[in-house]
Amino acid sequence: MSEGSAPFLSVYGHITMDQILSVKRFPQINETVDVVEKNTVLGGTGTNIAVTAAKLGVPTAICAFVGQDFSPNYEGFMRGSGLIMDDFVKVSQYETSQCVILNNAEMEQKVVFYQGPQGCASKLGMDLLGCASKSKYVHFCTGEPAYYISLMKKLSGKGIHMAVDPAQEVYKMWSKESLSGAFDQCDALFCNDYEAKVIEKYLGIGDVLSINLPVVVRTLGENGSIAKVDGKLYEIPTIKAGKVADPTGAGDAYRAGYYAGLYRGYNPVDSLTIASAVSSFVVEKVGALTNTPTWDQVMERADKYL
């Protein structure tokens, strides 16, 4: 896909340098444990969703800021994946976002995170709207809520389907007011079970699926996911991986798979089943972008569930 092309999907979110560390167990306070395995990879929710969608054949734009320190090799990888990068912007005010992910033997995670420019985007004075304004779908994931809501308002009324996906940021950057502001502009919400409970607490509701949006998706890890589509509830099955090596990026791959299904004309419910198939590949190797399947591989796994 060439620069200047109209995307089907535009993704807002972090582009991050991920350092993934495996330990037998998490350390106690003031205790040191040895790292069993260490990998440094390109990551970030924005990158993971956008690159995976592009590799699945979806014309996809990444709309994000990085620092001047961003690796030319990683930039080359992103461009080589077919991403539209008209709204990929390097700034001098911040270094690129960085994330340290600690996995224990039970595949539980602890994470420390440096926001970088995407978490302070409103201070940069740039509205990245060129790609999104030409897209059919726009997905807002991690980043500064106030900045994203301002963009949502500018995109409103143009017939663009917008989804909000606060992810791990919901714990520390979102509030009742910002969530309500996003829901006023969007027609879809994505969250996992942990994030859903935070949203429910903020909004004072019993179930995130009661939120009045056309599409609400609550993922449940190995137990699949539950979705409300046009007012009707659906259970989306888990599609089994060959093995589980690293859960990093499984949720991001799920979102990319959803848009890949929509792009190829599947309805939202079947697209969520396709999403489950995509995520089943990603967990088989360490890193969110090291085992992205082809569309044919996805459909081979998903077919019997559709």
pLDDT at position 54: 97
- Structure confidence at residue 245 as a pLDDT band (50, 70, 90): confident
Cα 189 from Cα 268, distance rounded (Å): 13
Cα 103 from Cα 136, distance rounded (Å): 37
Chain position carrying tokens 């939120």: 211
CA 118, 291, 164: angle at the middle one, nearest 5? 35
Residue 129 in 3-state DSSP?
Answer: coil
- Structure confidence at residue 249 as a pLDDT band (50, 70, 90): confident
pLDDT at position 241: 83
Chain position carrying tokens 């600690």: 102
- What residues form DSSP beta bridges with 168? none
Q: In this prediction, what percent of the chain has a pLDDT beyond 70?
A: 98
- Structure confidence at residue 101 as a pLDDT band (50, 70, 90): confident
> 10 Å Cβ neighbour count for 242?
11
Cα 143 from Cα 46, distance rounded (Å): 9
Cα 211 from Cα 203, distance rounded (Å): 10
List pLDDT tens digits, range 45-58.
999 999 999 999 99
pTM: 0.91
Tell which residue, 116, 90, 106, has the closest CA to residue 14.
Answer: 116
Residue 131, pLDDT > 80, answer yes
Q: In this prediction, what percent of the chain has a pLDDT beyond 90?
A: 83
Residue 2, pLDDT > 70, answer no
pLDDT at position 85: 97
Residue 240, pLDDT > 90, answer no
* Mean pLDDT calculated for residue range 120-130: 96
Tell which residue, 283, 267, 262, has the closest CA to residue 234.
Answer: 267
- Domains in the chain and their CATH numbers? 9-305 (3.40.1190.20)
pLDDT at position 262: 98
Give me the chain's average pLDDT, please. Answer: 94
List pLDDT tens digits, range 23-35.
999 999 999 999 9
Contact 271, 278 (CB under 8 A): no
pLDDT at position 270: 97
Could you say which DSSP state residue 169 is in?
A: G
Inter-CA distances, 110 with 20, 129, 191, 193, 249, Å: 10, 34, 18, 17, 14
